[in-house]
Amino acid sequence: MTVKTQQEAIERFKKKEALVGIVGLGYVGLPLMLRYNSIGYRVLGIDIDDAKVSRLNAGQSYIEHIPAKKIQAARQSGFEATTDFARVSECDALILCVPTPLNQYREPDMSFVISTADALKPHLRAGQIVSLESTTYPGTTEEELLPRAQEGGLVVGKDIFLVYSPEREDPGNPDFETRTIPKVIGGHTPACLEVGTALYEQAIDKVVPVSSTKAAEMTKLLENIHRAVNIGLVNEMKIVADRMGIDIFEVVDAAATKPFGFTAYYPGPGLGGHCIPIDPFYLTWKAREYGLHTRFIELSGEVNQAMPDYVLGKLVDGLNNASKSLKGSRILVLGIAYKKNVDDMRESPSVAIMEMIEAKGGIVAYSDPHVPVFPKMREHYFELSSESLDADNIAGFDAVVLATDHDKFDYDLIKLHAKLIIDSRGKYRAPAEHIIKA
């Protein structure tokens, strides 16, 4: 049965006869669904959010950079979404794209992965492959998914196949899409890897196999820790350069002209997104099980988490120079998505800055062309809508904090009419009396 089951699964993927189930229809799952649908697979989307499922089935999108016409085209060619986990049994592949946040103690919150695995297990059958794409600590696939997959008597590597293949989505990046980003994959057994490769190589230009699910899990963490540590380094350099009267953005630009041995990272108001601020702490947490202390990771985390405070300090200094107090001042935060040109609010440092301003008695508002109304978030919420950026409105604020440098902002207009600008993104390079770099 082993070889037959394995070969039948591989053939179904190669012939595009398989039904691909995407579990979790967010910033990772939705693009993956569209990719498999576009190349001729039947795709079933599964999510616990009734509102998301209803909008998708109505041909609507809830992610800005994914137009509704793509959802409508997918619906017309057979895609459907459901909250019914009993339909898991229909799927030949189950790709898990669920959140892996941190809890209040900055420890891994595995509840979404575990609850999803528990919801899947009564409906698993022979011939299926289960792939976890959520970023997590090394050992998660073996420790959490493996026993649940085998609980009903199926044997992983013989009857059912288990892989880990980390997502590498970069929302809003025009240079890369799901198809063109190489796909790392590790299988629990060689048979699992072979089936997993057959699943992904149809949809992704390049598949990169590694020796185990643990190696694949560690690969994703290394990618994100690399960014977190280097951003922490340049954020610390920013503070030093500022004290010395040096423009750190000029320095990074100059260093980037070296054609080898240097990669440009730019400072900012803190880390945002689902990966960089969170994933390093998954390894920190797991390393403690082995008696290890990950000092680089934790130090970079401290530096990056202190950046909103640094921006707030620059704001207070700027107001003081104008004989004003933060308390009672009207402050406009420009950009509340975590990075430019997207609507993704996850872990946005802009929100931390807004909360700090409000806590100090400032009257906070925001403008973001990608986020017209402040969304309901798990830990943060403001009853605010995006402010229009006309001359009179800009001039009506005591200070403007540039937190996210969207291309849609009219930076010349802002510079002309703002009383005070706190620039955390290095958008204004030329010195000006009313601009403070942060």
Same CATH fold assignment for domains 2-211 and 306-437 = yes
User: Which residue of the set 91, 97, 192, 275 is catalytic?
Assistant: 275
- Span 300-314, mean pLDDT? 95
Question: Catalytic: 192?
Answer: no
Q: How confident is the model at residue 421 (pLDDT cuts 50, 70, 90)?
A: very high
Residue 231 has pLDDT above 70, yes or no: yes
Q: Distance (Å, rounded) from C-alpha 165 to C-alpha 208?
A: 10
Q: Distance (Å, rounded) from C-alpha 60 to C-alpha 321?
A: 49
Domain boundaries, the chain: 2-211, 221-303, 306-437
The CATH code of the domain at 2-211 is 3.40.50.720
Per-residue tokens: 342: 């997207």
* Predicted local distance difference test score (pLDDT) of residue 102: 84
* Predicted local distance difference test score (pLDDT) of residue 170: 83
Q: Residue 422 forms beta bridges with which residues?
A: 401, 436
* Predicted local distance difference test score (pLDDT) of residue 320: 97
- Per the prediction, the chain carries an average pLDDT of 94
Residue 346 has pLDDT above 90, yes or no: no
CATH topology of domain 221-303: N-(1-d-carboxylethyl)-l-norvaline Dehydrogenase; domain 2 (1.10.1040)
Q: What is the DSSP string of 223-284?
A: HHHHHHHHHHHHHHHHHHHHHTT--HHHHHHHHTTSSSS-------SS--SSSTTTHHHHHH
Residue 259 has pLDDT above 60, yes or no: yes
User: In the CATH hierarchy, which top-level class contains the domain 306-437?
Assistant: alpha beta
CA 67 to chain centre: 19
Q: How confident is the model at residue 104 (pLDDT cuts 50, 70, 90)?
A: confident
Residue 247 has pLDDT above 60, yes or no: yes
Identify the residue with better confidence: 314 or 177.
Answer: 314
Q: How confident is the model at residue 72 (pLDDT cuts 50, 70, 90)?
A: very high
Identify the residue with better confidence: 118 or 2.
Answer: 118
DSSP state of 141: I
* Predicted local distance difference test score (pLDDT) of residue 106: 80
Identify the residue with better confidence: 124 or 105.
Answer: 124
Contact 328, 363 (CB under 8 A): yes
Distances (CA, A) of 314 to 245, 317, 390, 421: 14, 5, 25, 10
Per-residue tokens: 335: 């950009």
Percent with pLDDT over 70 in the chain:
99
- Span 65-89, mean pLDDT? 96
Residue 66 has pLDDT above 50, yes or no: yes
- Span 366-389, mean pLDDT? 91
* Predicted local distance difference test score (pLDDT) of residue 1: 44
* Predicted local distance difference test score (pLDDT) of residue 2: 59
Q: What is the pLDDT of residues 28-62, one digit of tens each?
A: 999 999 999 999 999 999 999 999 999 999 999 99
Residue 419's CB is within 10 A of a number of other CB atoms, namely 18
Percent with pLDDT over 90 in the chain:
88
Q: What is the pLDDT of residues 208-230, one digit of tens each?
A: 999 999 999 999 999 999 999 99
- Span 181-194, mean pLDDT? 97
Q: What is the pLDDT of residues 157-184, one digit of tens each?
A: 999 999 999 999 887 788 888 999 999 9
